[in-house]
Structure 1
Amino acid sequence: MVPGTPYDSARVDALLLERGAFARPDGQRIWRLKSGDVEVGELREGGQLIATELRVPLSDKLELVREVVEEGATLAAAAEVRLIDPQLGRHLSANDSGAVADQFLRTARYAGEMMGVSEAVSASYAAPPEGIPAGFKVLAAIIGGLVLLYLLADSLLSKLGE
């Protein structure tokens, strides 16, 4: 909890194991929660372990993000460490799940729309609007008016020619 003190990952790892985290055969650690799986990694800087990283796959499903924040805050308090969201740039409590979920959705949408990240594509597109778009209605009205004007002019010219 005190900035500048070395990070002790043993307490966090022990608490993760108690809460159902396990290692897959490929070495990746997984923390299974009610809403889905969270990847658990190590964050190193200059070869020194500085944090345990919790990664949630990009999608439009925010239940997992909220659950990770709430469970992560509980775990961090028990391990006497801080839970930090690097995108928000601050440490979190269980009450911050809404702010984290909002930022996560913005990131997922950006990744889907601009970066083409296939996992995030469903978050990037809104449902199609119902009915005929307003622009199409205006264009159809203009074309209809021009056709009516042409028919009227043709009819008047044919009567003048008789």
Structure 2
Amino acid sequence: MIQESIRMLIDDLLLASGSQVKVNLEEHFPGDRFAGGKYSMGSNTITLYIEEIKQQCLQLFSSLDHFMDYLAVVFAHEIGHAEDKELMALADKMDESLNERERQEIALQIEENAWEYAVQLLPHLNPDFVYEIIENSLEPYWEQLEQEPALFK
């Protein structure tokens, strides 16, 4: 039942975005990171890691009451990467950079671009809910750059 609901949510957001990205669902992220989703440029594929998304939702909101909305936000963010017209150029620029700070700034720009796109796909969700997830996601980037959190709204 939950798998069917997830597939419907994915189909709805793909339709709303017009994206042709492929989507895979996995139970767990295979690495050490705590990633809920990952976009692969080479294959134009988004992989969502359902158990990590559940854990992230629990960590941030202390319950799974809003799991489907949380999943929608994560997926919309990954679609944002897939549809980012600047992503290839930013990734190339990051690869060419010898300066760690510049790489961190580019990484932040990549994430901000994806979040800006995601927000446009989620007008039906409570903005405070969405922005709490965004701020939580961007906080490590701001800390690395020793920046004050930017108002993303």
Question: What is the TM-score with the length of structure 2 in the denominator?
Answer: 0.30
Greater fraction helix: 2
Higher Rg: 1
Greater fraction strand: 1
Question: What is the TM-score with the length of structure 1 in the denominator?
Answer: 0.28
Q: Which has the higher contact order (CA 8 A, sep 6+)?
A: 2
